Amino acid sequence: MALLFAVLFCTGCKSKAAKDLIVNKWTLTEVSGEGIKDLSETEKKEMIGKFTMELTSDGKVTMSGIGETKTGTYILSEDGKTLLLTREGDEKADPQEINELKAGKLVITSAREEMKLHFSAK
């Protein structure tokens, strides 16, 4: 019985791989960086809680909540440190550095927009 408990306990403790953790519907909770210096407080507040990014297990992404909904694809690097987003109509991927990825939390830095985006799982 003790052995069964130990096996179940250790199985529950096993951390998920980044490719499993990234699959979720993420809601923006905080934004910072050089890219927001020209945004008013009202514009920042409009983004927070409204912008969502859904990443599916088949490599698709849907971004919505601000303006028109955008779709595309994503690739997660083998080491789980870079997220390559390609929006429909874009010629090349937009790399996002993954600063933190754990159950329910995603923090990425976008070099293109010069922003750090904090998300929580919806």
Domains with residue ranges and CATH for the chain: 16-121 (2.40.128.270)
Instruction: For residues 49 and 118, give the distance between their C-alpha atoms in angstroms, rounded to a whole number.
Output: 11
Instruction: Let me know: does 56 contact 38? Beta carbons within 8 Å.
Output: no
The answer to whether the predicted template modeling score (pTM) of the entire model surpasses 0.85 is no
Task: Give the pLDDT confidence of 14-47 residue by residue, as tens digits.
Answer: 458 999 999 999 999 999 999 899 889 888 888 9
Mean per-residue pLDDT, 96-102: 97
- As a 3-state breakdown, the chain gives helix, strand, coil percent values, each rounded to 5, of 20, 45, 35
Tokens 């909540």, residue located: 65
Q: What's the Cα-to-Cα distance from 34 to each of 37, 39, 58, 75, rounded to whole Å?
A: 6, 10, 32, 25
Task: Give the pLDDT confidence of 41-89 residue by residue, as tens digits.
Answer: 888 888 999 999 999 999 999 999 988 999 999 999 999 999 999 999 9
**Whole-number pLDDT of residue 15:** 57
Of 37-41, 104-108, 114-118, which range is least confident? 37-41
Instruction: Let me know: does 71 contact 87? Beta carbons within 8 Å.
Output: yes
